[in-house]
Structure 1
């Protein structure tokens, strides 16, 4: 973990502990997790609920914290959907196995009947016995045909059901990788994507760059215009970032008002160009308050750019990009700072964790 990331996480932890103390809520792990998640801002529905509670003058307590934990953190919709689909798949596969077992039993019975008939035919039998044998064989054949027909129907139905279940599973997995507010990839997907991109860069000798983005003065903007407008800003930044990258590039909400872009097959100079394009595109957009059409001004962001070096770990690459981001903040915001030529000691993240706003 980089120094900047440690400071940020420590700031979130302090906020969570302060809220626990103010509400006289026991610092049990689940309540700490609830308020830590609130402090990071990564769950907009949770934040909206807690903000409404604060604005309504209600004092949070253990009972309320337990209800919020059960609603927002104990059960995750995407995971529940994945589990549900997996269970349905299991039931369908069991039904197919049962149908196959039944067909095998019928086939075994039919084979036994044929063997008996073969033995009888080798001996001298009367015409009446021959007719009886023929009727018995016809009956067994029809039973075998009926069983096979039912098996075919079940296999056909299972094929259709499994195809539909696979689509549901793919959608649920995709949903679990998206940030619910901005609809771009979430932190989990970012972490996995960075590891994969770095592995490929090391294996194939391809360039790889990382861009970290922080919305300027976001906390002040949020406090002035409200959380709904703040959510609108987050969606705007996400849309702008996503529309200015392409191919295998990955845009993600890193946490709170911070975003990131993983740029495979992109060298340092090209990554600076991408970051500058996003910065300009974002600055060019004027924000309107939807309820009143009031002009709220323009949103800007600060950018830090770093490129993969042999021997890098995800933490080391993130630390350099983070350091560049904080340098951009200290340089007046609304700018792009890259790692080449950066004076490292002065820009190692000497800021309050809330300064990201």
Structure 2
């Protein structure tokens, strides 16, 4: 973890503890997680609910905190996954039961045939032969009915299992998406980066990482409100996503930070992508939907690092974060790569920053 990332995380932690203290809510792990998540702003629905409570003047209580935790942070995805798994298990058990029933009937039918074979090998009267044929016919029809019932149950199970598989796929996709911006979330990014690093190490192909931070976002959010802030986050997310292609991955890293993984891309190619995104963000004038008020333009800062054979995910992120930190200190609204990090840092120390 870089110094910049550590400082940011520590700020979220201190904000969460301050809110716990002011509200008189005990600092149990679940309540700390609740207010830490609120401080990061990664769950817009939670933030909207808590902001509404603060605006109404209601005093937070332990009971209310428990309610909010259960509603927003208890793993809804895990609950849904568990529900689908239980349905899948029930359906599998139903299939096994149907098969067992069919096997029992088939074994009984096989026994009847063997018994009939023994009877036929002896001399039997026409009346006994007729009775035997009638019995075998009835058992054959019962076997046919059992087979039809099994086929119907298997077909219904096949359809149910296919639907359950779709539900599982949906749950997995949702677990990898940021609910606000609809691009990949931090979990998806972590998985994607591990995969990209493993592939780059195996093939020797280039791999670059871009970190993006919206400039002065907290001030903008406080001035124009969280709904407008959410609009900005969605705008930046879609701008990044629309400027990457193929196997590239855009993700929300946390709060107002985003990240892009660019396999098979060198530092120059990554710089072009970042510059295109930077210009596209700066080129959009914001409009407050409720009032049509023009809010001006936003900018973002970018840090880029390229994978080296000795890198881990952590070391690659840390270098990109150092570049992002340098871009912030050099005046924001710029792209800093590993290649020009030393130059930008020296200019900043010398007091030479771009407007």
- The TM-score, its normalising length taken from structure 1, stands at 0.94
Q: Is the 8 A contact 2:88 2:164 kept in 1?
A: yes
Is residue 21 of structure 1 aligned with residue 21 of structure 2? yes
The corresponding residue for 2:109 is: 110
Q: Is the 8 A contact 2:326 2:336 kept in 1?
A: yes
CA offset at residue 75 of structure 1? 4.1
List per-residue Cα deviations over 1:201-248 (Å, max 9, x = no partner).
101111110000000110110111011100000010011111111111
List per-residue Cα deviations over 1:114-143 (Å, max 9, x = no partner).
100111111111111111111111111111
CA offset at residue 279 of structure 1? 0.5
CA offset at residue 80 of structure 1? 2.4
Residue aligned with 1:295, SS = strand
**Aligned in 2, Cα 1:156/1:210: closer, same or farther, shift over 3 Å?**
same
Within 2, Cα distance between the matches of 1:173 and 1:179? 12
CA offset at residue 88 of structure 1? 1.3
List per-residue Cα deviations over 1:270-292 (Å, max 9, x = no partner).
00110001111111111100011
RMSD of Structure 2 on Structure 1 (CA): 1.4
CA offset at residue 346 of structure 1? 5.7
Q: Is the 8 A contact 1:323 1:344 kept in 2?
A: no
CA offset at residue 67 of structure 1? 1.5
The corresponding residue for 1:244 is: 243
Structure 2, unaligned runs of 5 or more: 347-355
CA offset at residue 61 of structure 1? 2.6
Which protein has greater RCO, CA pairs closer than 8 Å, 6+ apart? Answer: 1
Residue aligned with 1:85, SS = helix
Within 2, Cα distance between the matches of 1:346 and 1:54? 42
The corresponding residue for 1:30 is: 30
Moved over 3 A (4+): 344-347
The corresponding residue for 1:218 is: 217
Within 1, Cα distance between the matches of 2:18 and 2:74? 22
CA offset at residue 342 of structure 1? 1.5
Is residue 74 of structure 1 aligned with residue 105 of structure 2? no
Within 2, Cα distance between the matches of 1:154 and 1:252? 43
- The TM-score, its normalising length taken from structure 2, stands at 0.95
Is residue 42 of structure 1 aligned with residue 58 of structure 2? no
Q: Is the 8 A contact 2:247 2:262 kept in 1?
A: yes
Aligned length: 346
Is residue 306 of structure 1 aligned with residue 285 of structure 2? no
Within 2, Cα distance between the matches of 1:66 and 1:164? 34
Structure 1, unaligned runs of 5 or more: 348-357
**Aligned in 2, Cα 1:154/1:344: closer, same or farther, shift over 3 Å?**
farther
The corresponding residue for 1:173 is: 172
Residue aligned with 2:73, SS = helix
The corresponding residue for 1:185 is: 184
